Amino acid sequence: MAEISRYPFRVEPQEVDFTLRATLSSLGGAVLNTAGVDAYGKGFGVDVLNADNHSWVLSRMALEIDLRPMQYTDYTIGTWISDYGRVLSTRNFTLTDAAGHEFGRAVTQWAMIDLTTRSAVDLSWVGREHQEAVVPVPPPTDKPRKIRAVTPTQHAEHRVVYSDIDFNRHVNTMRYIEMMLDMLPVEMLTREAPVRLDIHFLKECRFGQTLSIGCELHEHAALFEVSGDGQSVAVRAGIEWQEA
Amino acid sequence: MAEISRYPFRVEPQEVDFTLRATLSSLGGAVLNTAGVDAYGKGFGVDVLNADNHSWVLSRMALEIDLRPMQYTDYTIGTWISDYGRVLSTRNFTLTDAAGHEFGRAVTQWAMIDLTTRSAVDLSWVGREHQEAVVPVPPPTDKPRKIRAVTPTQHAEHRVVYSDIDFNRHVNTMRYIEMMLDMLPVEMLTREAPVRLDIHFLKECRFGQTLSIGCELHEHAALFEVSGDGQSVAVRAGIEWQEA
């Protein structure tokens, strides 16, 4: 039976903000990177899927960080798939420091798309073919929450450029998160309190589109929605810092 | 006598564009990261300097990439300091693939600043105290070229946000490079030809400023200049792809 796979990381100088702690987006980036590397190593990465004109697409993510580690801190990301449904597979993560203390965790849900139609395909076959990759350990926290209604109090616009897009030619997940967080007061972002981020992708945004980002700001939380070229909502997200 | 230090890297999924090759900015980021890690490991990193109210600041960089490596390619960055002047120290880099073939190189020049006055300090003492860190191997290519005059044919604006800034609270080098490259046609960025980038920092741009980026576009080259809040030029850069 499969076990949780563990990958070593270190907080690099380019990943910290002026508090010298890792940014949320760099930690989220490390989590998503681990997903790619683990799938690649186990034979169901994007490289293999592309040969069949398929790709993995992130549908939802929940990321919890209790304490942002300082520059040069060594840490480990553990990852495992806990289940394959017909439409979504669930991949989990824990972030632990050198002493084995868990300081963060994530739950992600992935769909498989057909690269021609860009729509989701039934992934039961992956569950059958890669049953041995499933680890019977439940997700380390609540699955990603759906954010249903956002009443923006602030707006920003962003034209999608080359450095925003990923191998799939759509906007990189961490860039969405950066765009959203960049609308918040810096004091909120650098406050040292446990934080949870939920993000939910409804459709893709692509190179050349102009994105509208709406933000509903609260004292220790914010909700966001992003749409491309005036179309319906493409991404919704929520972030919440624990009150002192 | 010191030797060239070598650090292992791999092109991670989040570092590639839709051609599945590492972006120039991710390779430049790896180079700068290596500078930080190497200085840290040798006892003259930003952590030690900060205790004396000093910091390293990148003054100029030349980066040459002959071939952008594909996703998951293992490579090595070698780095060494070839000299300390009174104002600038020169740190060099080579990028080599698993077979030992050099596919890129960089020459960087660093000043040391006083964090209160933000002005350069004499770094002869570093040269004396860390003489053993100097490796008598010349830079692997021409030192960074000064770009003197730019006649912009295109303009862009960018307000400096949280995700743009680094541990020094000023705009991250790779973000400048992304802002510039994002003004170029995608076909130019994804063309497979050797490329050289020169960048030259004249002053710092900081959180909350609005940057104007001017671009003088040629067929296989471009020149850039960036200024903050309508002040004098803060950064100049040039990029040139080799003609087929």
pLDDT in tens, B119-137: 888 888 777 887 888 999 9
Q: Name which of A14-18, A129-133, B97-101, B108-112 the model is least confident about.
A: A129-133
Chain B residue numbers touching A172 (CB-CB < 8 A): 14
Q: Which residue of A has its CA nearest to B159?
A: A182
Chain A residue numbers touching B165 (CB-CB < 8 A): 17-18
Return the pLDDT at B106: 98
Given pLDDT bands bounded at 50, 70 and 90, which one contains residue B79?
Answer: very high
Q: Which residue of B has its CA nearest to A174?
A: B14
Which of residues A41 and B101 earns the better pLDDT score? B101
Residue A163 and residue B169: Cβ atoms within 8 Å? Answer: no
pLDDT in tens, A81-92: 999 888 999 999
Chain B residue numbers touching A181 (CB-CB < 8 A): 162-163
Task: List the single best residue of A7, A9, A14 to mutate versus B (max B Cβ within 10 A).
Answer: A14
pLDDT of residue A77 exceeding 90, the answer is yes
Residue B167 and residue A20: Cβ atoms within 8 Å? Answer: yes
CA distance A151 to chain B (A): 23
Question: Domains plus CATH for chain A?
Answer: 1-143 (3.10.129.10), 145-244 (3.10.129.10)
Q: Name which of A103-107, A211-215, B110-114, B225-229 the model is least confident about.
A: B110-114
Residue A33 and residue B25: Cβ atoms within 8 Å? Answer: no
Positive or negative, the CA dihedral B220, B226, B232, B235 is negative
Q: Which chain A residues have any C-beta within 8 angstroms of a chain B C-beta? A: 12-14, 16-18, 20, 23, 25, 29, 32-33, 36-37, 40, 46-47, 71-72, 161-163, 165-169, 172, 174, 178, 181-182, 184, 186, 189, 207
Residue A13 and residue B168: Cβ atoms within 8 Å? Answer: no
Task: List the single best residue of A57, A162, A175, A206 to mutate versus B (max B Cβ within 10 A).
Answer: A162
Chain A residue numbers touching B37 (CB-CB < 8 A): 12-13
Return the pLDDT at B62: 98
Task: List the single best residue of A50, A55, A165, A167 to mutate versus B (max B Cβ within 10 A).
Answer: A167
pLDDT in tens, A121-141: 888 877 787 788 899 999 999
Which of residues A93 and A1 earns the better pLDDT score? A93
Number of A:B CB contacts under 8 A?
A: 90
Note whether ipTM > 0.95 here.
no
Chain A residue numbers touching B16 (CB-CB < 8 A): 166-167
pLDDT of residue A235 exceeding 80, the answer is yes
Chain A residue numbers touching B172 (CB-CB < 8 A): 14
List of long-range contacts for B19-22, beta carbons under 8 Å, 24+ apart = B19/B68, B19/B190, B20/A167, B20/B70, B20/B71, B21/B68, B21/B69, B21/B70, B21/B71, B21/B190, B21/B192, B22/B68, B22/B69, B22/B70, B22/B71, B22/B73
Give me the mean pLDDT over the B72-98 stretch: 95
Return the pLDDT at B1: 66
Contact A237, A214 (CB under 8 A): no
Task: List the single best residue of B155, B160, B162 to mutate versus A (max A Cβ within 10 A).
Answer: B162
Q: Which chain B residues have any C-beta within 8 angstroms of a chain A C-beta? A: 12-14, 16-18, 20, 23, 25, 29, 32-33, 36-37, 40, 46-47, 71-72, 161-163, 165-169, 172, 174, 178, 181-182, 184, 186, 189, 207
- A84 contacts: CB under 8 Å, gap ≥ 6: A90, A123, A124, A126, A127, A130, A134
Return the pLDDT at A160: 96
- B194 contacts: CB under 8 Å, gap ≥ 6: B64, B65, B66, B67, B241, B242
Give me the mean pLDDT over the B71-82 stretch: 96
Residue B13 and residue A181: Cβ atoms within 8 Å? Answer: no
Indicate the pTM of the whole model: 0.92
Give me the mean pLDDT over the B79-91 stretch: 93
Give me the mean pLDDT over the A69-96 stretch: 95
* CA distances from residue A229 to A145, A159, A197, A233 in whole angstroms, order as listed: 26, 9, 25, 10
Return the pLDDT at A212: 97
pLDDT in tens, B158-184: 999 999 998 878 899 999 999 999 999
pLDDT of residue A120 exceeding 90, the answer is no
Chain B residue numbers touching A178 (CB-CB < 8 A): 163
In this complex, which of A14, A47, A178 lies closest to B33 when CB atoms are compared? A14
Chain B residue numbers touching A40 (CB-CB < 8 A): 13, 72
A230 burial type by CB count under 10 A (0-12 exposed, 13-18 middle, 19+ buried) = exposed
Residue A162 and residue B14: Cβ atoms within 8 Å? Answer: no
CA atoms of A64 and A86, how far apart (whole Å): 26
Return the pLDDT at A241: 97
Residue A167 and residue B17: Cβ atoms within 8 Å? Answer: yes
CA-closest candidate to residue A228, choices A203, A208, A211, A206: A211
pLDDT of residue B117 exceeding 90, the answer is no
Task: List the single best residue of B167, B176, B239 to mutate versus A (max A Cβ within 10 A).
Answer: B167
